[in-house]
Structure 1
Amino acid sequence: MIPLLTYLNPFSKVPKIIKNRMEIQDYIRSRIDDERRSFDPNNVRHFLDLYLQQEGKSNSKISENHLFLTIADLYLAGTDTTSVTLQWTMLYMIKYPDVQKKCRDQILEVIGEDRDPVGKDKDNLPYVMATIQEVQRIATIAPLAVPHLAVEDIEIDGMTIPKNAIIFPSLMSVHRDPTLWEEPDVFRPERFLQNDKFVKKKGFSAFSMGPRICLGKQLAESELLLIFVSILQRFDLSKAEENDELPIDGIMNGITQQPKNFQMCFLPRQ
């Protein structure tokens, strides 16, 4: 926000962050170059090929810079947020063993023990889906969404937001709004169920909101489901020590809110 402070603070981590980001950028550019050399327009293999297929079209509005920024966003934003969300799910599973049992019972009933989960299993795992979304709601790992810019003057509730104003959506305020959620500070996966079916809630904003919603939403949802289900399929999760309190107030690390350090046991299921 205030770049000058970076140079005044001898303990600033910003130079290291910039160095790390440059290394990631160099890696992404090298991968783009590799895929460009092996590109076959008749054999579209992945996202990069899709871009290269559109690149030469006269009406194309994309550029290599767009491609690079998109991949960087998916890589940088997706790895941290997904791993932090999984940390929160593990914390809530050992803090609420009854919820863990309900999830596992449904997983074993629908998938069993002998095959890996697949994306389409989500349609038959309503309680599991509800649990993941309730963790995302109550933990809100990104309390403030990425900044947006007002493209024109707009009035909301009697207040004027001027053109070019920087806007930080407060996702935490939405997820803890008592007008949207009954007892918002209580962990209750059932709030996402109706007649035992998973339902999407209007106030759920873990991936921000509006037309600029998180680009990696579908990828992150798939990763969370597959990893979460795979873990509960194979392990019983428990506290490392019976008297561990397991606080659920998070700590901010950059733009993400992470759980405080905790220990847990992964016990292979027999």
Structure 2
Amino acid sequence: MKTKKMILSIVFSILILIISQILAVLIAEALLKVKVPEFACNIICGILYILFTYYLIKLLCKKYLNDELGNYYITKFKLESKWVVVAIFLPVIVTVCFFLFNGTFEQNAMDLNSKLSILSRGIFFTGLGAGITEEMVFRGIMLNVVEKKFNKKVAIIIPSLLFGIAHLIGIKFSLLNWALVIIAGTMAAIMLALITYESKSIWNSAIVHAVWNFVIIGGVISVGTELNHYSLYSYILESKSFALTGGEFGIEASIIAVSGYCLVSLLILLANRKKSKDRLYEI
């Protein structure tokens, strides 16, 4: 693949992600104005986000890349049990690790509608919506166009770095916090890329991504240094350690979370080394 086509494919896929999210949010906001319950709007928003992204990515493949979705790991929906297990245990174990440090639990007082709104947004938009769409773009299109231009190793690194950088958009952090977010985001993305390569499908990385988003930032239990008014429960850490709290970005950039990403990545690499003759992921 030519460099220009690779770059444009990456740019187009990012634009698709942005456009799909904007359209989904605008429709949900319009429905909210005509008195559709907020929890229903959140569900619709998440579903539309996925559908818009899917069909625009499909159009990109057909009209610009002249290829089929399946060749970009956007295959028929199928999950492997081991990745479902990873999807559940990784964020749960990371969250539980924080409970080993001194802190206090706080429950936000809110009505049923507020609780339904938080849960619906956490499951359908923050979880499934962001998880699936970002996997289509970063581990679907980007991973493959970079591989076609270079090789698998470069295809793991470049989209992962872009994934980390993408999490800085719209956020005003100090230079140190920026560096921490890029490192953490890149390591998480490397883990997701390895899952995609190992399973030859974005759906397994998507379920890991989606469940992580729901558990860690979906609004059920928030772990941080302050009370989160947009979460059902908050665990407020007494420690102000930069490494433990993840700085301004939060626990996704903490040493505990990054260790989780690295551990899963290492296990994939070790398992692949034992069974693969060509050692595709040896780095």
Q: TM-score, normalised by structure 2?
A: 0.28
Could you say which structure has the higher strand fraction? 1
Q: Which has the higher helix share?
A: 2
Scaled by the length of structure 1, the TM-score of the pair is 0.29
- State which structure, 1 or 2, has the greater radius of gyration over its C-alpha atoms: 1
Higher relative contact order (CA 8 A, sep 6+): 2
